[in-house]
Chains A and B, each alone.
Chain A
Amino acid sequence: MIDPYYLQQLAIGLSQGVIYALMAIGFTLIFGVLNVVNFAHGEVYTLGAFVGLLFITAFAPPFLVVLFVVLAAGAAMGVGLERIAFKPFRRFSDEASLKSRAMRESTLMSSLAVSIVAREGLEFAFGSQMQTLPFDYLINKPIELGPVTIVTGDVIIFAVAAIMLGGLQYMLTRTRAGLAIRAVSANPLGAKYVGIDTDRTIITTFALGSMMGAGAGILVGLYYGAIFPAMGFVPGIKAFVAMVMGGLSSIPGAVVCALLLGLSEGLATTFISSNWADMVAYGFLIVTLIFFPQGLFGAGRERV
């Protein structure tokens, strides 16, 4: 019989991991699969939470309505973000520009700029403190499972993450839109030559990925009851680490690594001190980069 203490710690670690996975799915779709450097995903997450918060305080709608409004807002944000920070770098369609790494990677700066403006704007408008939330909306009612306590949010977040992962895998591998995304990510120029509307594909991917980011934001915000302008930073880093560990371009890989991260952080608190738990994530990142530059699951896969 395992000590119930460890069961509880495993449950907590797993629930952390699912939260990281929720963030990592949308992040990996844009960054890894579409192969576009996007550092504004954390702010999409934060903005999603704020949209949800405003909607809740203004109309007090049922939970599912909040979620769908936030998803819609997230899709809109994705399109806007793409328009502001990414489209300008695709304005030249000659071959040299399309092949240029510099053109592609300059979005690192433009998306970072958008993220800083968004975060500071939120701080300016709302202040940097945590916002007060109506307690009825929080998804943290305890559920006892024998010696282990989880909360309602764990179940909801797990379900949403599973739906996202399954849906995305289906879409990417079985539908024409998914095929287009994979084609654009593999070779944007080639995709253009065979007649794929690359602009539209990129915008769709942004809408999809940002929708998931915003959804993750409101869910995690309601899970912890903590919505504030800097909330996207830490999950953004964790999602990034999970993505790199999973081999950059694999969504299932990122999810598995997110779970692994959560579990090891949970256990780290038991064996070392909690202020070193963050080091685990960064330690994993370094180890992956040195010993598994292709990710933990090896190279030679297709981007999905």
Chain B
Amino acid sequence: MTLTRHPLTRRTLVGLALAAPLATALAGTALAADPIRIGYQLPLTGNTAQYGQDFKTAAEIALARFNASGRLPVKVEIVFEDSRSDAKEGVTIARKFVDDPAIVGVLGDFTSGVSMASAQVYKEAGMPQLSQSASHPDYAKISEWQFRNITTQAGEGPYNAAWMLKKGIRKVALVGEQTDWGQTSVKYFADAFEAGGGKVVLTEYFNRGLPDFRALLTKIQRAKPDAVYTAFFYEDAANFIKQMKQLGINIPIYSTSAAHNQKVIELAGADAEGLSLTTNFMPSSPKPEVKDFVAEWVKVRGAEPGQFPAQAFDAVNIMLDAIVKSYPNVTRAKVRDALAATKDFPGVTGTTTFGPDREPVKQLMKVRIVNGVFTPIGE
């Protein structure tokens, strides 16, 4: 009987307490125009978190700038989801993004492996996907929904092979990380290098994160190559270079854009001197868009950005540009078409045009570490 005398039971109270913020939230969204959302899947924890965190910072810089510019009357939001560089996680996130009707395009993932696993979901659902760093040759071939903002190793390998052949290097040792990316990088380079008359004296793969390269380095030394061509990321690069100098081996090292990071110099110090690689982003470039981005980045992080954050910054801007072009009534299909039509987009990593195969056409630069700085060279 007590219940009838007190109509406000505990259950109703709890119900009310739960409903109140929900109601205000609903009213809030109804008043402002619905924001347009972009999904971003990237590793924010785990072994590759440093890359994902860089992408996130770059994306936040790009987004804040876009929303402040007033190019669209509605706000654009980015939903970040942590894939931990795990293909299973990536697929789960992809399903989640596909189910959110407000999401019109997806950025990421970091590795080719996870990007390609998620791509299957986006292919089925018809969601445009733009990765800032997936450089496996098969990624963009998955369907018409996949784009990338990085030159593939199919372009970089032969470019580096031609560079080294021109420098008079005839015998080369190849070292790559034991991943899809590492193997294709080595393969594209080796094919072009041998076609150009060079000889591969040794090919070795290592498990990413290997702390000790000395056994491998001694094996390379015994093969007596003119140079080593390496497909690794900056942390492995720093270890490799340091241990090479420790053992007193003096063989020139060439590498891909994946090793282009200020951290190589920080971690390896004077040992990094002479490392040669290709890249499409130079933080010291006098171009105004690069200067702006570098200044913003330094404000947040305190050091200059490497190539990967720059790739992410451009990827976000390309996606935003595609959304502007398809506004109003932005749909996934319209964003895809707008992405495909991207032409001469002025980014910090050079101008980007998507070819009919949804691959970017970009300019590569040759750089070498001279006096502790990545220095452009004209060889």
Query: Which residues of A does B touch, CB under 8 Å?
Result: 5, 8-9, 12-13, 16, 120, 123, 127-130, 132-133, 135, 140, 142, 144, 149, 151, 224-226, 228, 230-231, 234, 265-266, 269-270, 273-275, 277-278
Within 8 A of A (CB), among B196-235: 204-207, 209-212, 214-216, 218-219, 222, 235
Q: How many contacts between A and B, using CB within 8 angstroms?
A: 91
Is B50 in contact with A127, judged by CB distance below 8 angstroms?
yes
Within 8 A of A (CB), among B166-223: 178, 204-207, 209-212, 214-216, 218-219, 222
Interface size on B, residues (CB 8 A): 34
Closest beta carbon of chain A to B218's beta carbon, Å: 5
**Closest residue to A129 on the B side, CB-wise?**
B50
Is A12 in contact with B210, judged by CB distance below 8 angstroms?
no
Task: Kindly identify which residue among B47, B205, B214, B238 contacts A12, using a CB–CB cutoff of 8 Å.
Answer: B214
Q: List 13 A-B contacts (CB under 8 A).
A: A5-B222, A12-B215, A13-B215, A16-B212, A123-B49, A135-B269, A142-B247, A225-B242, A226-B239, A230-B47, A234-B211, A274-B210, A278-B207
Within 8 A of A (CB), among B295-340: none
With A120-B45, A225-B242 known as contacts, the answer to whether A269 contacts B178 (CB < 8 A) is no
With A273-B205, A278-B207 known as contacts, the answer to whether A127 contacts B212 (CB < 8 A) is no
Residues of A within 8 Å of B266, CB to CB, are: 132
Closest beta carbon of chain B to A45's beta carbon, Å: 13
Residues of A within 8 Å of B45, CB to CB, are: 120, 123, 128
**Cα distance A53–B45 in the bound complex, in angstroms:** 22
Is B235 in contact with A142, judged by CB distance below 8 angstroms?
no
- The 3 A-B residue pairs with the shortest CB-CB distance, nearest first, are A269-B215, A129-B50, A128-B49
9 more A-B contacts (CB under 8 A) besides A224-B239, A265-B215, A274-B210?
A123-B49, A128-B45, A130-B267, A133-B267, A144-B248, A151-B246, A269-B219, A273-B205, A275-B207
Residue with the highest number of chain A CB atoms closer than 10 Å, among B212, B239, B269: B212
Task: Kindly identify which residue among A228, A231, A266 contacts B215, using a CB–CB cutoff of 8 Å.
Answer: A266
Residues of A within 8 Å of B49, CB to CB, are: 123, 127-128
Residue with the highest number of chain A CB atoms closer than 10 Å, among B47, B214, B246, B267: B214
Residues of A within 8 Å of B48, CB to CB, are: 128
Is A5 in contact with B218, judged by CB distance below 8 angstroms?
yes
Is B216 in contact with A269, judged by CB distance below 8 angstroms?
yes
Is A226 in contact with B215, judged by CB distance below 8 angstroms?
no
**Cα distance A234–B209 in the bound complex, in angstroms:** 10
Is B50 in contact with A128, judged by CB distance below 8 angstroms?
yes
Closest beta carbon of chain A to B17's beta carbon, Å: 32
Residues of A within 8 Å of B246, CB to CB, are: 140, 142, 149, 151
Closest beta carbon of chain A to B21's beta carbon, Å: 28
**Cα distance A106–B210 in the bound complex, in angstroms:** 32
Is A270 in contact with B247, judged by CB distance below 8 angstroms?
no
Residues of A within 8 Å of B269, CB to CB, are: 135
Is B248 in contact with A149, judged by CB distance below 8 angstroms?
yes
Residues of B within 8 Å of A9, CB to CB, are: 215, 218
Residue with the highest number of chain B CB atoms closer than 10 Å, among A9, A224, A270, A275: A275
Is B216 in contact with A130, judged by CB distance below 8 angstroms?
no
Query: Which residues of B does A touch, CB under 8 Å?
Result: 45-50, 53, 178, 204-207, 209-212, 214-216, 218-219, 222, 235, 238-239, 242, 246-248, 263, 266-267, 269-270
Residues of A within 8 Å of B53, CB to CB, are: 127
**Cα distance A135–B272 in the bound complex, in angstroms:** 13
Residues of B within 8 Å of A128, CB to CB, are: 45-50
Residues of B within 8 Å of A123, CB to CB, are: 45-46, 49
Is B218 in contact with A12, judged by CB distance below 8 angstroms?
yes
With A120-B45, A149-B246 known as contacts, the answer to whether A130 contacts B238 (CB < 8 A) is yes
Residues of B within 8 Å of A144, CB to CB, are: 248
With A13-B215, A273-B204 known as contacts, the answer to whether A149 contacts B247 (CB < 8 A) is yes
Residues of B within 8 Å of A151, CB to CB, are: 246
**Cα distance A225–B239 in the bound complex, in angstroms:** 8
Is A277 in contact with B178, judged by CB distance below 8 angstroms?
no
Residues of A within 8 Å of B47, CB to CB, are: 128, 230
**Cα distance A225–B271 in the bound complex, in angstroms:** 12
Residues of A within 8 Å of B267, CB to CB, are: 130, 132-133, 225-226
Is A270 in contact with B238, judged by CB distance below 8 angstroms?
no
Is A142 in contact with B207, judged by CB distance below 8 angstroms?
no
Closest beta carbon of chain A to B231's beta carbon, Å: 13
Closest beta carbon of chain A to B202's beta carbon, Å: 10
Residue with the highest number of chain B CB atoms closer than 10 Å, among A265, A269, A274, A277: A274
Closest beta carbon of chain B to A237's beta carbon, Å: 12
Residues of B within 8 Å of A231, CB to CB, are: 211
